[in-house]
Structure 1
Amino acid sequence: MDLSALVKAYDVRGVVPDQLDESIARAIGAAFVDVVFGGQTGAGTAGGMRIVIAHDMRETGPGLARAFAEGAMMRGASVVEAGLGSTDLLYFASGHLGLPGAMFTASHNPAQYNGIKMCRANAVAIGVDTGLRDIRERAGAYLDTGIPAGSASGDVEQVDLLTAYAEYLRGLVDLAGIRPLKVVVDAGNGMGGYTVPAVLGDTVLPALPLDIVPLYFELDGTFPNHEANPLEPANLVDLQRRVVEVGADLGLAFDGDADRCFVVDADGAPVSPSAITALVAVRELAKAPGSVIIHNLITSHAVPEIVAEHGGRPVRTRVGHSFIKAQMAEVDAVFGGEHSAHYYFRDFWFADTGMLAAMHVLAALGEQPRTLTEITAEFARYAASGEINSTVRDQPGRIDAVRSAFAPRTSSLDELDGLTVELSDGSWLNVRASNTEPLLRLNVEGPTDEVMAATRDEALAVIRG
């Protein structure tokens, strides 16, 4: 069976049950064990073949997770079931227990979707070039021929890791001594409603000087209030309004699986993820002077500038968590940030965690008297377009057209990920193709709003023909 439409570059993602059902999850579970344990079968617990799995609040999660576990056990692995969790809780489990892991989530996708994010032990990412292609091919073959049982079947153990996860994060950022802050948190009916009370509240650990105002903490995979995708401005409106209504110091918005965190200031204005990247980078460099900071190629140019000014070494990478995690480990980076509000930490097994990024923001704000607007102003140096999608059939042809159109004013260009063009007026643009849809994604930045807007409009005119 061909699973190429379901198994993407970084994870498994599809509509349930049309594209992803329990038989497919079972086959992927078996293939996952084969790949991460190098083809061993039948080793059981005695051979150390153990994996950890968790699922988010989507109704289809428990069934898919259990089917995946069945496939894994058929190939001889034992399964540690962590139950409900955020994606970063699963990464914590993988690192804390030293086990390969699988998280059942479709992140910010609509309710009819579900998926699987997989990692090796210690939260090492699995992408298409680091095992996911092999998992896809083995799972497809198992769906055609059946899953052969190993000589020994694994067993199942249930664990609750929420308290250990909260304790670990609190140990990385000390919030006990900050000034009192009022914080509105929009969980979007996603897993932030489960993890925020544990980490920032007082449900499992002593209270912090935080007055948490909850929005949509009820776990509901149908997302009755708005999609759990804070990258879309419409999904931030309720948070922005509530922050102003209650006079909060800031607002936090988590996506469905709570691995990403967006921030708004006391006026309800969104804070750029690039500014958050710079803010956290400065804090991490204060603890580990001279360290490497990873930033992807569509974060603001302010990020590498600020990193260098604070004695760090900025390293530019392509977009995508599996690429960033691999490069972070390769260069031993202390921190990494993406435009999409994924934040990666060496102290968190080089994995991404929106919660830890939120804690750094809270600490930066609570350790001194200034407002968040005042703090982040120094990290916002340029005007940015944000990511703009255009439906395009001939993606390579339109990218070449952009290259030609801007050639007379190009000061440099590269093709690390799509096409990045630096222009003589101080602006730059990146245009790259979607991996899964007939889309081109455009990002533009300039020294002023006017310069950025002119570059953006000219690029869109070329892209859209």
Structure 2
Amino acid sequence: MFGTSGIRGLYGSELDEKLALLVSNIFADNVVAVGRDIRKTGKPIAHAIFAGITSAGMDGIDIGIAPTPTVAFATKIRRIKGIMITASHNPPQYNGLKFFKDGIEIGRNAEREIEERYRRCETRLADWNKIGRLIKDDSFIAKHKDSVKSLVNIQKNKRVRVVIDSNGAGVVITPQLFREFGCDVISINDSIEGFSRPSEPNAKNLEGLSKKVIESGADFGIAHDGDADRCVIIDEHGEIVPFDVQLSIMIEHELERTRNKRIVSTIESSLIVREAVEKSGGELIVTPVGSSYVGEALERYNAIFGGEPCGEYIYQNGVHVPDGVLSAAKFLEIYLEKGRFSELKKKYKTYPIYRDKFHAQDRNGAIKRIKAQLRTEGRINEEDGVRVDEDDGWFLIRPSGTEPLIRLTMEYKDKDKLERKRAELVELIKKNL
């Protein structure tokens, strides 16, 4: 039922109102704040969730359309629980549920308990006179915005022009936040009636943003995914800052400000991310892929920052889930301190990297077959799929936690070596799907 980030699936077949009602009822042993992104299926799912919460005798707080980190923020300041209705970067036919408590995603044990009680249909029904209330409260959006402003130092001595491509729940907070920072904001894809482009903020899907940055003479562009837990930067030339470079820039920025040198990233971390940590005197703590693992490790090891090479960043002083809104503000802070991203990214030596994905209905079975047939003399890590580190590079083959996919990530210092390994690994994966 649960993947790397909550429950996610195709609406109607893998996730529907019945499931939403039952799991929310099981989850509701406290007040529950609920937000949603702009997917059309969010409204009926929200109705089911509030029925589940209130029938358990608990109050449900309706935040409305809001970013995932805003819902997590509500649970942190009120010491309550939260549910975010979103499938994040997945296509619009998907939807999902993320679960929070006290500012962080619930852990694997709590997820397993929900799954077990769901299978047993173990729900709660309060007496007629103890039914919970439905309370509308969108004030958490402004409170989250104020919290973000308190965590950055924005010098208003330069007028910065920024194009913001919210394309989802981020539209209710990020454009206004940047206006309050004194920026000249150009907002695109800012409807709340559905996505204007595919939700995943990659180079292909951000071509419109890149074009707008160039046409408007903007200093940089910002893109979110559907629930604004990701932040992607476009430089003034309309070029996306590579995810590994973007993460490295943020790691060095955070390490400059503290004596706490612990950084969390995932098994998917590239060579330049590891080099950025080492260059700044940091200690890298590695987890499986997934924001819940990163958030848990950040709290367990008291790390200053945690991030993944997809634009998801978690800060010690913020909520302990990826916060694309705070990340956007941090990148503005970096721009004002260090200048244009086109110049800043030149400081980072990148190596040839390749990412691909393959449809696999039985992704876990496919991974088992791939592991059995893999032949390598490199160092093997099987904590999340299989990662192999060699002297001049590495590769990772893992099952997606949110879609029926096998993902391949690989990086080598030599391009010819990368191509040879790519052909070998793609053949191995395809014959075992």
* TM-score of the alignment, normalized to the shorter chain, above 0.5: yes
Question: Which residue does the alignment assign to 2:341?
Answer: 372
Whether the aligned pair in 1 keeps the contact of 2:358 and 2:407 (CA below 8 Å) is yes
| TM-score computed with the length of structure 2 as normaliser | 0.91
| CA drift at 1:434 | 2.9
Q: How is 1:262-281 mapped onto 2 (pairs within 5 angstroms)?
A: 262-281=232-251
One of 43, 49, 52 as aligned partner of 1:71: 52
| CA drift at 1:116 | 1.1
Question: Which residue does the alignment assign to 1:24?
Answer: 19
Percent of matched pairs sharing the same residue: 27
| CA drift at 1:115 | 1.7
Structure 1: how far apart are the matches of 2:403 and 2:85?
Answer: 22
Q: Deviations over 1:262-289 (max 9, x none)?
A: 1121222221222222211222222222
Structure 1: how far apart are the matches of 2:241 and 2:355?
Answer: 12
Question: Which residue does the alignment assign to 2:80?
Answer: 99
Secondary structure (helix, strand or coil) at the match of 1:71 reads helix
Whether the aligned pair in 1 keeps the contact of 2:36 and 2:169 (CA below 8 Å) is no
Task: Report whether the alignment pairs 1:429 with 2:360.
Answer: no
Task: Report whether the alignment pairs 1:197 with 2:175.
Answer: yes
Secondary structure (helix, strand or coil) at the match of 2:255 reads helix
Question: Which residue does the alignment assign to 1:204?
Answer: none
One of 182, 193, 200 as aligned partner of 1:220: 193
Q: How is 1:309-328 mapped onto 2 (pairs within 5 angstroms)?
A: 309-328=279-298
One of 154, 157, 166 as aligned partner of 1:187: 166
Structure 2: how far apart are the matches of 1:440 and 1:29?
Answer: 30
Structure 2: how far apart are the matches of 1:348 and 1:199?
Answer: 16
Structure 2: how far apart are the matches of 1:371 and 1:234?
Answer: 22
Q: Which moved more, 1:378-387 or 1:291-300?
A: 378-387
* Alpha-carbon spacing, 1:146–1:28, altered in 2? closer, same or farther (3 Å): closer
| CA drift at 1:178 | 5.3
| CA drift at 1:147 | 4.5
- Match for 1:265: what amino acid? D
Structure 1: how far apart are the matches of 2:371 and 2:210?
Answer: 36
RMSD: 2.2
- Match for 2:111: what amino acid? L
Q: Deviations over 1:254-311 (max 9, x none)?
A: 1111111111212222212222222112222222223210011112122222222212
Structure 2: how far apart are the matches of 1:175 and 1:68?
Answer: 39
| CA drift at 1:435 | 4.0
One of 125, 128, 135 as aligned partner of 1:148: 125
- Match for 1:133: what amino acid? R
| CA drift at 1:165 | 1.1
Structure 1: stretches of 5+ with no match in the other structure: 38-48, 202-206
- Match for 1:400: what amino acid? A
Question: Which residue does the alignment assign to 1:125?
Answer: 105
Q: Which moved more, 1:163-172 or 1:285-294?
A: 285-294
Question: Which residue does the alignment assign to 1:40?
Answer: none
One of 3, 7, 10 as aligned partner of 2:5: 10
Question: Which residue does the alignment assign to 2:386?
Answer: 419
* Alpha-carbon spacing, 1:415–1:14, altered in 2? closer, same or farther (3 Å): closer
Question: Which residue does the alignment assign to 2:328?
Answer: 358
| TM-score computed with the length of structure 1 as normaliser | 0.85
| CA drift at 1:148 | 2.9
* Alpha-carbon spacing, 1:147–1:380, altered in 2? closer, same or farther (3 Å): same
Question: Which residue does the alignment assign to 2:183?
Answer: 210
Secondary structure (helix, strand or coil) at the match of 2:398 reads strand
* Alpha-carbon spacing, 1:448–1:183, altered in 2? closer, same or farther (3 Å): farther
Q: Deviations over 1:150-174 (max 9, x none)?
A: 5832223222222111111011112
- Match for 1:427: what amino acid? G
- Match for 2:103: what amino acid? A
Whether the aligned pair in 1 keeps the contact of 2:163 and 2:221 (CA below 8 Å) is yes
* Alpha-carbon spacing, 1:125–1:436, altered in 2? closer, same or farther (3 Å): closer
- Match for 2:88: what amino acid? S
- Match for 1:461: what amino acid? E
Structure 1: how far apart are the matches of 2:430 and 2:49?
Answer: 43
One of 117, 133, 136 as aligned partner of 1:138: 117
Q: Which moved more, 1:331-340 or 1:239-248?
A: 239-248
Task: Report whether the alignment pairs 1:241 with 2:217.
Answer: no
Structure 2: how far apart are the matches of 1:8 and 1:423?
Answer: 29
Question: Which residue does the alignment assign to 2:368?
Answer: 396
Q: Deviations over 1:228-272 (max 9, x none)?
A: 1113x3211111122222222211111111111111212222212
| CA drift at 1:455 | 2.6
Whether the aligned pair in 2 keeps the contact of 1:105 and 1:117 (CA below 8 Å) is yes
Structure 2: stretches of 5+ with no match in the other structure: none
Secondary structure (helix, strand or coil) at the match of 2:44 reads helix
- Match for 2:115: what amino acid? R
Secondary structure (helix, strand or coil) at the match of 1:101 reads strand
| CA drift at 1:217 | 0.7
